[in-house]
Amino acid sequence: MPDQQDIKNAREAIATRQKRLAELEERRKLAENEFEAIREKRRALEHDITRNQELLSKLRIMPNEMLSAVFTAYIESDLDASPWILASVNRAWRAAALTTPSLWRKITLVGNGWQSACVSRTLRGSELCCTGEQLKRALKRAGVGPLEVTILLENAPKTQQRARTIANQIEILLAILREEGFMQRISTLRFEGKIGFVSSCLGSVAWEMPKLQNLVAEHGSIVGTKKMFDTSELRSVRIHNTYWSMSDMPPARSSKLKELSLSGPKFMNDMDWKALGARIQSYSLLTHLEIRGPGTCWSNSSVLALPRLTYLEIEHCKSWPIVVPNLQTLIITKGEFADGPPGSNQFPTVKVFRMDTQKYHWGNDIENYQLRSIQTLDLRCMASVTTNNSHFKLLEKNQLTTKLMKPVVIRLRDMLVHEKILLDTLEAIPTLETLELTGCLVGKVFFAGLAPKKATATIPYPSLTTVKVDFSSKKLKEDPKSIKATAKRAMKARVLAGRDMLWALLKVTEEAGWSDLLN
């Protein structure tokens, strides 16, 4: 018979082994759960692999016509996309890409040296051609559709002889286009470069483009543009930073012109501005107009009436008095309108208004503009003002109220704004949903004012759902951490009070980036 010690030892052994058995059972269950989780992940991965393989299979067996349509949509959605990316996937895709002419309609004519300097065969999705052989191959791929041709003028050639050499090379390429009949198919022509030598050398070129719809001239002097306008198909003309005259303007018979952008006009007297205004007014279908200075329209200029215009941008110049009954977007950058008769310079249909200025006394201008339908208001004032009147006078006079406009989106940038005045003004705008401040030195007073008022249990600015404040370009007068804490409490208090906030973002420094005040 076992004695008491043996019994005790046996019981301890049983207890120890039962404990280990329980631990092993627990580990088994955990392992089974982990194994099942791994199996689920494996099944999910296998499902994804199968689904993507099926997708690839569908693409591989997709008819060339459908594949070409997909390729064309891709190229049109990304202006810088290169068709060579599609052609490098596999043989089927390469064959489909090479037999889709619409992918190859962008061609850039350049001087010698570009091909060796460029890693890619394309520049921003456009085929680079500096020899006749390259151009002929590109034209063969382009088929019989319209062409977009860019003439890339070398920046700052060291000598005029080098400029003449480049011009001769481009003239040879243009001669190929003309001899093969491709000049008749150019729908878009662009000049790019920063020097006038090369483009001056191209003045003798016979520009015969009856199908030309879009002309873009970036930098440099463009000689002979009036020859390019010998077409009734022009839709868009953009001439930027060039020395040009009225002879370089589309003629009055350009009845289909809808978009006109002029930059750097050198008109020095009232007659030039009157002539330019009369020419612009002759474009009866014009919907988009951009005028960038320097330039000044005299106060006695005639009113410019553009009944179809929906987009107007004035920059660094004093424009004609204007009548635009259907304008939707108005952008004024350090510019203004000359005084005109009653009814001019009024924009009751404008929905998007942006003004960048260096002056603080333009509140009356906005009031006179009659901005009654505005939805987005974007104001910026870069000024070095040290007097007591440096606060945003437009807000102080409380002109930004429902008497004038009911904006849904307000953006204020680089303004000296008094926090209390800003809060009081915004409170008078019940439609406000989005407020964006950039470079405006507001602090704890402003953010605390956005929080629900405990005394009345009301939520100020009830429609406000998006707040975005960027201090990163300014030196704050208050502790950034305390500002952030106050802003976070205010946003969370609005949510707890029942106001659904979509976004509440704060950037104190560029290094720290954006902080989400709702989390």
Global model pTM greater than 0.85: no
> What gap in Å lies between CA 289 and CA 282, rounded to an integer?
13
Of residues 296, 289, 290, 288, the one with CA closest to residue 317: 296
Residues 6+ apart with CB under 8 A from 345: 321, 322, 337, 339, 368, 369
In a domain, residue 18? The reply is: yes
In a domain, residue 1? The reply is: yes
Give the pLDDT confidence of 351-402 residue by residue, as tens digits.
Answer: 999 988 765 445 556 677 888 888 998 988 755 433 334 344 444 444 444 4
In a domain, residue 218? The reply is: no
Give the pLDDT confidence of 157-211 residue by residue, as tens digits.
Answer: 566 677 777 777 888 888 888 888 888 888 988 887 755 555 555 655 667 788 8
> What gap in Å lies between CA 274 and CA 251, rounded to an integer?
15
296 membership: H or E segment, kind and range: strand 288-296
Residues 6+ apart with CB under 8 A from 120: 82, 84
> 3-state DSSP call for residue 248?
helix
Q: How many domains does the chain have?
A: 1
Give the pLDDT confidence of 296-326 residue by residue, as tens digits.
Answer: 565 556 888 999 999 999 888 778 889 999 9
In a domain, residue 52? The reply is: yes
pLDDT at 402: 43
Hunting for tokens 């000689």 — which residue is that?
223
Of residues 420, 328, 416, the one with CA closest to residue 376: 328
pLDDT at 302: 80
Domain hosting residue 5, numbered range: 1-61
Asked whether the predicted pLDDT for residue 468 surpasses 90, the reply is: yes
Q: Give strand ranges (E) for 320-433.
A: 322-323, 329-333, 336-337, 352-357, 376-381, 409-413
In a domain, residue 22? The reply is: yes
Of residues 336, 325, 331, 326, the one with CA closest to residue 364: 336
In a domain, residue 419? The reply is: no
What average pLDDT does the chain have? 78
Q: Is the dihedral of CA 440, 445, 450, 451 positive or negative?
A: positive
In a domain, residue 402? The reply is: no
In a domain, residue 67? The reply is: no
**pLDDT exceeding 70 applies to what percent of the chain?**
76
